[in-house]
Amino acid sequence: MRNSQTPSAAPRPKSPGLNLWILPVLFMGIFYFYPLGKITQLSFARAANEAWPGVREFLSSPSIARVIGFTFKQAILSTLLTLVVGLPGAYLFGRFDFRGKKFLRALTGVPFVMPTLVVAAGFYALLGPTGWLNSLLMTVWKLDHPPLTFVNTFGAILTAHVFYNTTIVLRVVGDYWSRLDPRLENAARILGATRWAALREITLPLLLPAITSAALLVFIFDFTSFGVVLVLGGPTFATLEVEIYYQTISLFNLPAAATLSLLQVGFTLILTVVYTRLTSRLQKPIQLSSRGRAQRPLVSRRSRLLAGLLIAGLLAFLISPLAALAAKSLTGSEPGAPLTLAFYRSLASRPRESSFYVPPAAALGVSLGYGILTVGLALSLGLPAAWSLAKKNLTLIDRILDPILMLPLGTSAVTLGLGFLVALDQPPLNLRTSPLLVPLAHTLVAFPFVVRSLTPALASIQPRLRQAAAVLGASPRQVVREIDLPLVGRALLVAASFAFTISIGEFGASSLITRPEYPTVPVAIYRLLARPGALNFGQAMALSTILMAATLLGMLLMEYFRIGEVGEF
Amino acid sequence: MKLKTLFMIVGILVVAGACRPQPTGPETLTVMTHDSFAVSDEVVQIFEEQNNVIVQFLEVGDTGTAVNKAALSKDNPLADVFYGVDNTFLSRALEEGIFEVYDSPLLEQIDPAYQLDPTHQALPVDFGDVCLNYQKSFFEQAGLEPPETLEDLVKPEYRDMLTVENPATSSPGLAFLLTTVGYFGEDGYLDYWKALVANGVEIVNDWETAYYSAFSQAGGPDPIVVSYGSSPPFEVLYSEEPLEEAPTAAITSPGTCFRQIEFVGILKGTTQRDLAEKWVDFMLSPTFQEDIPLNMYVFPVNSQAKLAEVFQQYLVVPEVTADVTPAMIAEGRERWIEAWTETVLR
């Protein structure tokens, strides 16, 4: 297919080239490399007054080797499982049109934003020793002991990772699939290929850039997993991120923490370098079609049945822990209690001691504000970067910068949080106590997502379309508006929704310095959960349910709100 | 055009970051705290009006994180005052030299038992006891006496009933490990833990999971959990329906609880030493001290501060708590946690 392209020397709209990199590089330099460099330097400077055996000795201790091994093992398995669960869903979303699809797609994004402690409470309510499932089985089979052990097992870690990250596969792959021209596949079928052969020979190879993109993001998230491993895996499991937290906070052994952080960043770098090498081979400029053409309704009874089963399965898996939460917000922590709206009512009233009390509406407002800022920042930084990376012939600088963009995702939040503290402490960048630092930190995580979800779409734009438009007299700006934007509109939406959910879900913000007058919803939930008393627990569950509803609403608005004809043409 | 917009955004951000509020009107005193800090607005207002000052609070993470941040920023302090270091982290704070000495006149009103820092860099504000809690109704229904001592927990009748937190990741978990070290000594605590494991102790990583998922009071499987001495009164205070009696109780026999004491100090390098002293005095005064329990679930160290009725009625304060000094903790923490991990988790 490559051969059919016009030679690469063909006139493109004069590319701004290096200029596009100025902002992303500036941003990464100030808010990532500088803080990380400074905390690393400071950490090793302390090595003299610690009982620090040296990097090599430290890394060769068996407990550290075990942590590294486990980190890889759980990340690889979690990623594979996430793909297994996510790909059929991506197919459904990508290839078929059915009622309630937008709602369903929005719903599958909700797990991504839920605080771990709250999700863990949901899993406990479902699968814990006294959870619904075990209680049911014990009654049915008249058992004395709960038959299922879920919490504090390896399986719990894997399940929670799939629960959190399936939406990445659904969104990244599903979107790409929806614009893959089905005629290629149809042609293969007409020429005698079986359904499987067509999938294997045509569709999967074309999908590979999106699948590897999604797999990489999922892997890095699992690789740096903290809350899930801590809360659901229990004390016998530790990832690098958990060990970094322990070394930093409990032991204040900064050289050890810095060594592990650099190791984590190093692994991420190797991984992304391999990935970028791989995708440069996989990327094919293909004709992306409008979604209307790529998608068909579910007509036959068999396809309806299969789709129904798939949707039911996805919903049962992604929604049941959340539903358990919502149920708890109506009954409180004690099982079998009568339904009540008391927790919601009490959320709205000012409790007696009232200190630092922020009404839930205000916390939602703060979360929303940070979310919108993050979307704006991440898109304005990610778009030029993705634009540069979508070129057919990457320059050396593009090749070097590409994997580097992913590094913040693979960096310990604890380490980076301390980095901000020691680096951003002088005017004009005295941001360490500024509320602005929160959206900036969120942007650091959201930015790679934006780049990864935009690049495949931008790269797939056929240069001929642009050239044709230019020949027909379109100005460069018109080309962007009439050709590029409609073609990448859907991907833009995916990117924005990632940035939004990452911000609402508060990745690593707890390692920043927060101002009590601007708590986000997750912070407010954690505050409630940290206190004893049935009312506090019930309120935490009620607030979590409100967070779910608000996220769902936000995602739905994004599904329906399109700038102009973006996404459809 | 796009590039221009982007430059504008970054420009605005930089300017917004650079523009700090101009010091017009009252001065600002910055107080950094751990993230469980809370105080009533009216109480802060009293201080602000008396001294024509605005108090800005910064929450910088859990206790350990807060101490680390204070240590890392000591050359360019984040705040004038730091509240929240406890006796498990006190040595780290003192070794790092983050505080200035301040001999507050209010120390006279505070029992010397709380004044763990004789150099008066860190001044005690409040205390809370980490104690075993149990669900009363479970033991009533089972016709079983609730356990009273640490030794009881390894008896067969209390098999599979206890959840504790991991000392490496949880502050009450560390407190309970320290309790066993204090009670059984360095030679005996590991044997005790082996017996606990044999008796089916459950370990989770955080207090929230222990209290709200594993504890039978919240629908979990275990009727005994490591929590705080203050948890039973708060079950009354924050019950769904008004309660006559606490549904849970704390075990407070001698040596079964660990006392966490939290301290405040003036950060080295403050430019507002006078105001900082006034704030520290305010925190130690009965006005602030009496406001503590309902906000932070811990209790005043000032002997003149009065407790609300709910606490007089439902709070049981242990008379003898585990005897482990900050210096012992600083020296033994890593060793004990590692030995514990080897014994209990592997």
Structure confidence by residue, pLDDT tens digits, A344-356: 887 777 555 455 6
Residues forming a β-bridge with B93: none
Task: For residue B184, count CB atoms less than 10 angstroms from its CB and return exposed for 0-12, middle for 13-18, buried for 19 or more.
Answer: middle
Confidence of residue A566 (pLDDT cuts 50, 70, 90): very low
CB-based contact (8 Å) between A138 and chain B? no
The answer to whether A414 and A511 have CB atoms below 8 angstroms apart is yes
| pLDDT given for residue A3 in this prediction | 41
Residues forming a β-bridge with B54: B28
Confidence of residue A209 (pLDDT cuts 50, 70, 90): confident
Do B39 and B122 belong to one domain? yes
The stretch A195-211 carries a mean pLDDT of 85
Q: Where is B336: in which H helix or E strand?
A: helix B326-340
Between A204 and B276, the higher pLDDT residue: B276
| pLDDT given for residue B8 in this prediction | 54
- Phi, psi for B28 (deg, rounded to 5): -115, 130
Q: Do A532 and B76 touch (CB under 8 A)?
A: no
| pLDDT given for residue A510 in this prediction | 65
pLDDT digits (tens, 9 = 90+) for A392-403: 778 888 888 888
**How far B290 CA sits from the closest chain A CA (Å)?**
12
Q: In total, how many domains does chain B have? A: 2
Domain region containing B35: 24-127+260-314
Query: What's the CATH code of the domain at B328?
Result: 3.40.190.10
pLDDT at B251 over 50: yes
ipTM given for this complex: 0.84
> Which chain B residues are within 8 Å of A380, Cβ to Cβ?
2, 5-6, 9
Q: Do B238 and A245 touch (CB under 8 A)?
A: no
Average of per-residue pLDDT values in chain A: 83
> Which range has highest mean pLDDT (A179-188, B54-63, B150-159)?
B150-159
Per-window interface: A 229-258 vs B, CB < 8 A = 230-231, 234-236, 242, 245-246, 248-252
Cα A157 to Cα A116, A228, A239, A369, B38, distances in angstroms: 11, 6, 11, 32, 34
The answer to whether A447 and A255 have CB atoms below 8 angstroms apart is no
What SS3 class is residue B225? strand
Q: Over the Cα atoms of chain B, what is R_g?
A: 22
CB-based contact (8 Å) between A144 and chain B? no
Nearest to B127 by CA among B273, B9, B230, B253: B230
CA atoms within 13 A on the CB side of B289: 25
Residue of A nearest to B330 (CA): A251
Task: For residue B53, count CB atoms less than 10 angstroms from its CB and return exposed for 0-12, middle for 13-18, buried for 19 or more.
Answer: middle
**Does any domain span residue B71?**
yes
pLDDT digits (tens, 9 = 90+) for A144-153: 888 888 888 9
**Does any domain span residue B98?**
yes
How does strand A296-297 pair with strand A96-97? parallel
Do B217 and B286 belong to one domain? no
**Rounded CA gap, A383 and B3, in Å?**
11
**Rounded CA gap, A247 and A264, in Å?**
14
Between A39 and B15, the higher pLDDT residue: A39
Do B109 and B137 belong to one domain? no
pLDDT at A487 over 80: no
For residue B318, what is the DSSP state? -
**How far B112 CA sits from the closest chain A CA (Å)?**
28
Task: For residue B32, count CB atoms less than 10 angstroms from its CB and return exposed for 0-12, middle for 13-18, buried for 19 or more.
Answer: buried
**Does any domain span residue B18?**
no
The stretch A206-228 carries a mean pLDDT of 90
DSSP letter string over A349-417?
A: SPPSS-TT---HHHHHHHHHHHHHHHHHHHHHHHHHHHHHHTSSS--HHHHHHHHHTTGGGGS-HHHHH
> Which chain A residues are within 8 Å of B203, Cβ to Cβ?
152, 234-235
Residues forming a β-bridge with B134: B224, B249
Per-window interface: A 334-373 vs B, CB < 8 A = 334-335, 337, 340, 342-343, 352-356
The stretch A286-308 carries a mean pLDDT of 74
**Does any domain span residue B106?**
yes
The answer to whether B314 and B65 have CB atoms below 8 angstroms apart is no
Residues 6 or more apart whose CB falls under 8 angstroms from that of B334 comprise A250, A251
Q: Do A511 and B58 touch (CB under 8 A)?
A: no
**How far B3 CA sits from the closest chain A CA (Å)?**
8
**Does any domain span residue A57?**
no
The answer to whether A74 and A158 have CB atoms below 8 angstroms apart is yes
Do B97 and B241 belong to one domain? no
Confidence of residue A5 (pLDDT cuts 50, 70, 90): very low
> What six digits make up the tokens of B331?
């020296």
**Does any domain span residue A472?**
yes
| pLDDT given for residue B23 in this prediction | 47
CA atoms within 13 A on the CB side of A195: 0
Lowest mean pLDDT among A258-267, A405-414, B8-17, B333-342: B8-17
**Does any domain span residue A33?**
yes
pLDDT at A172 over 60: yes
Nearest to A421 among B20, B69, B221 (CB): B69
**Rounded CA gap, B123 and A112, in Å?**
43
The answer to whether B74 and B88 have CB atoms below 8 angstroms apart is no
Q: Do A514 and B35 touch (CB under 8 A)?
A: yes
Q: Do A429 and B17 touch (CB under 8 A)?
A: yes
Nearest to A254 by CA among A421, A424, A34: A421
| pLDDT given for residue A293 in this prediction | 61
Length in residues, chain B: 346
Confidence of residue A7 (pLDDT cuts 50, 70, 90): very low
Residue of A nearest to B76 (CA): A425
| pLDDT given for residue A394 in this prediction | 80
CB-based contact (8 Å) between A537 and chain B? yes
CB-based contact (8 Å) between B149 and chain A? no
> Which chain B residues are within 8 Å of A252, Cβ to Cβ?
64, 67-68, 71, 92
Confidence of residue A276 (pLDDT cuts 50, 70, 90): confident
The answer to whether A122 and A159 have CB atoms below 8 angstroms apart is no
| pLDDT given for residue B336 in this prediction | 96
**Rounded CA gap, B277 and B27, in Å?**
15
**Rounded CA gap, B322 and B329, in Å?**
12
**Does any domain span residue B234?**
yes
Between B49 and B242, the higher pLDDT residue: B49
**Does any domain span residue B14?**
no
Q: What is the largest distance, in Å, between two alpha-carbon atoms of chain A?
A: 79
The answer to whether A466 and A12 have CB atoms below 8 angstroms apart is yes
Residue of B nearest to A537 (CA): B212
Q: In total, how many domains does chain A have? A: 1
pLDDT digits (tens, 9 = 90+) for B8-30: 555 555 545 444 444 457 899 99
The answer to whether B41 and B57 have CB atoms below 8 angstroms apart is no
How does strand B224-228 pair with strand B123-135? antiparallel
The stretch A298-316 carries a mean pLDDT of 87
Lowest mean pLDDT among A305-319, B78-92, B112-126, B148-162: A305-319
Do B339 and B228 belong to one domain? yes
Cα B294 to Cα A355, B87, B92, B289, distances in angstroms: 9, 22, 29, 10
Do B181 and B82 belong to one domain? no
Residues 6 or more apart whose CB falls under 8 angstroms from that of A122 comprise A321, A322, A324, A325, A328
Lowest mean pLDDT among A318-327, B148-157, B298-307: A318-327
Do B223 and B279 belong to one domain? no
- Phi, psi for B206 (deg, rounded to 5): -140, 155
> What six digits make up the tokens of B216?
């039978």
- Phi, psi for A238 (deg, rounded to 5): -145, 130
pLDDT at A565 over 70: no
Average of per-residue pLDDT values in chain B: 90
**Interface mutation vs chain A, best among B72, B291, B340, most A CBs within 10 Å:** B72
| pLDDT given for residue A294 in this prediction | 64
Nearest to A231 among B3, B57, B206 (CB): B206
Cα A353 to Cα A378, A502, B40, B292, distances in angstroms: 39, 32, 6, 10
Confidence of residue A12 (pLDDT cuts 50, 70, 90): very low
| pLDDT given for residue A55 in this prediction | 85
For residues A428-442, one letter each, b for 16 or more C-beta atoms within 10 angstroms of the residue's C-beta and e for the rest, the string is ebebbbbbebbbbbb
- Global pTM value: 0.86
For residue B250, what is the DSSP state? E
Q: How many CB atoms within 10 Å of residue A497?
A: 23
**Does any domain span residue A60?**
no
The answer to whether A160 and A228 have CB atoms below 8 angstroms apart is yes
**Does any domain span residue B79?**
yes
Do B99 and B152 belong to one domain? no
Task: For residue A493, count CB atoms less than 10 angstroms from its CB and return exposed for 0-12, middle for 13-18, buried for 19 or more.
Answer: buried
Do B153 and B65 belong to one domain? no
**Interface mutation vs chain A, best among B29, B35, B238, most A CBs within 10 Å:** B238
**Does any domain span residue B2?**
no
**Cα angle vertex A248, ends A245, A250, to 5°?**
85
Residue of B nearest to A39 (CA): B72
Q: Do B3 and A514 touch (CB under 8 A)?
A: no
The answer to whether B210 and B226 have CB atoms below 8 angstroms apart is yes
**Interface mutation vs chain B, best among A356, A358, A418, A528, most B CBs within 10 Å:** A356
The residue with tokens 């996989």 is A282
Cα A39 to Cα A423, B59, B64, B128, distances in angstroms: 8, 20, 17, 34
| pLDDT given for residue B339 in this prediction | 94
**Rounded CA gap, B90 and B118, in Å?**
12
**Interface mutation vs chain B, best among A31, A246, A250, most B CBs within 10 Å:** A250
pLDDT at B257 over 90: yes
- Phi, psi for A555 (deg, rounded to 5): -65, -40
**Rounded CA gap, B67 and B74, in Å?**
11
Query: What's the CATH code of the domain at A288?
Result: 1.10.3720.10
Nearest to A355 among B39, B73, B334 (CB): B39
pLDDT at A17 over 70: no
Do B165 and B210 belong to one domain? yes
CB-based contact (8 Å) between A534 and chain B? yes
pLDDT at A2 over 50: no
Domain region containing A158: 13-50+69-328+337-560
Residues 6 or more apart whose CB falls under 8 angstroms from that of B173 comprise B164, B165, B166, B167, B205, B207, B226
Q: Do B220 and A236 touch (CB under 8 A)?
A: no
Do B327 and B223 belong to one domain? yes
The residue with tokens 């029992």 is B111
Q: Taking CB atoms and an 8 Å cut-off, how many pairs form between chains A and B?
A: 210
| pLDDT given for residue A461 in this prediction | 75
Confidence of residue B283 (pLDDT cuts 50, 70, 90): very high
